[in-house]
Amino acid sequence: MSKLFSSFKIKHLESKNRVMRSATTSYWSDENGILREPILDYYRLLAKGDLGIIIKGHSYISKTGKAHTGQSGLSEESHLAKMTELTKMVHYYGVPIIAQINHGGLSSKADRVTASIYRTDDIEAREATLEDIATIIENFASSAELALQAGFDGVQIHSAHGYLVSQFLSKNINKREDKYGGNLENRSKLLLDVFDAIKKKIGNEPVIGVKLNCDDFAPKDGIEIQDSIQISKWLAERGIDFIEISGGGPKQDTEIRKTRGKPSSDAPYFEGNFSGHAEKIREAVPNTTLALVDGIRTRSTMDALLENNITDFISMSKPFIREPYFSSRLITGKKRSDCIDCRKCLSKERFGKRMLTCAVLVP
């Protein structure tokens, strides 16, 4: 039997296969961050589709950390009723579900706060004070506690894609001269403090994961593979339960992103955009559960990544926007996702204006 369809345990959490739905925001919660019915309908399709694990699209940890219109919240009790409805429904189909929790940082509309003063033609953000940082850390921990109350099997700290924690890691944004800035260890302190606070708040039993950039793919001063290796080691030493390897942070360059994370050209998993970087992270933290996302579309790549022990989970996002049942179809012999990676589902014309759907199927 293919490893893709074998079960896997992360602590008490058992997945029936190695297919992970990577966190993908639906853009369609109400103005108070409460899930709307179309979101629940979509997750029902995902849960019925033989997934191993679902990571729910990011939820804000505080109103001031809300990143965009339509983002869901996990910051107050009013969010719990619909979140509980979601987790009960997903669990009914035997699928674990993890809450991704996040602070928008530069993207936050109510209070643009980041590691250091930051100005562009479009954005002006203030530098977080130590009091702000302490509050943010506590908000992450409280959000994790709310996630468990809602029935989630664990939480994933969003430390990728240029949101707040990712901004602290990047020298492109973080110019601080205190304990949260300067060298890599200091720039990683917010992430590590958030992890420690969550673990202290919810204990050792629930699953705690991190979504981490393997590379910001910036021309200079961003996180690169040698940095993500070290951060992964620090997380492993603290007892992180899984790391989802992603990429693309502040000031990323799309041309650099196309090549820098790739493996050798003859690798059977070359399709995976970050699989070359994942090789190095696996070597550095061989006993830590890893998931890999981005660019993976074919069954042959999935099998090669698992058979070569590059990752434990195949994580995908856009294929499940196109086909919520993609995992079931893999089981019955499908060889490739129908997603053509046009990225129109994420276009400015659609973002926040409608429920997330495939723009080819639902124009």
pLDDT tens track of the chain, all 363 residues?
Answer: 799 999 999 999 999 999 999 999 999 999 999 999 999 999 999 999 999 999 999 999 999 999 999 999 999 999 999 999 999 999 999 999 999 999 999 999 899 999 999 999 888 999 999 999 999 999 999 999 999 999 999 999 999 999 999 999 999 999 999 999 999 999 999 999 999 999 999 999 999 999 999 999 999 999 999 999 999 999 999 999 999 999 999 999 999 999 999 999 999 999 999 999 999 999 999 999 999 999 999 999 999 999 999 999 999 999 999 999 999 999 999 999 999 989 898 888 887 788 989 988 876
Average pLDDT, the chain: 96
- Specify the pLDDT at position 52: 98
- Strand-pair partners of 20: 53, 315
Question: Residue 277: which CATH number?
Answer: 3.20.20.70
Q: What is the domain range of residue 67?
A: 3-346
**Phi, psi values for residue 231, rounded to 5°:** -60, -40
Is 119 part of a structural domain of the chain? yes
Is 352 part of a structural domain of the chain? no
Is 359 part of a structural domain of the chain? no
Q: Is 213 helix (H, G, I), strand (E, B) or coil?
A: strand
- Specify the pLDDT at position 200: 98
CA-based end-to-end distance of the chain: 39
Q: What number of CA atoms fall less than 13 Å from residue 49's CA on the CB side? A: 22
The single residue listed with the structure tokens 């297919």 is 19
Is 351 part of a structural domain of the chain? no
Which tens digits make up the pLDDT trace of 77-89? 999 999 999 999 9
Q: What is the maximum span of the chain, computed from C-alpha positions, in angstroms? A: 55
- Specify the pLDDT at position 354: 86
Report the 3 state secondary structure along 333-351: CCCECCCCCCCHHHCCCCC
| Beta strands 113-114 and 118-119, pairing class | unpaired
> Which residue, among 287, 292, 280, has the nearest Cα to 247 in the 3D structure?
292
Is 342 part of a structural domain of the chain? yes
Is 358 part of a structural domain of the chain? no
Is 19 part of a structural domain of the chain? yes
Is 354 part of a structural domain of the chain? no
The count of structural domains within the chain is 1
- Specify the pLDDT at position 122: 87
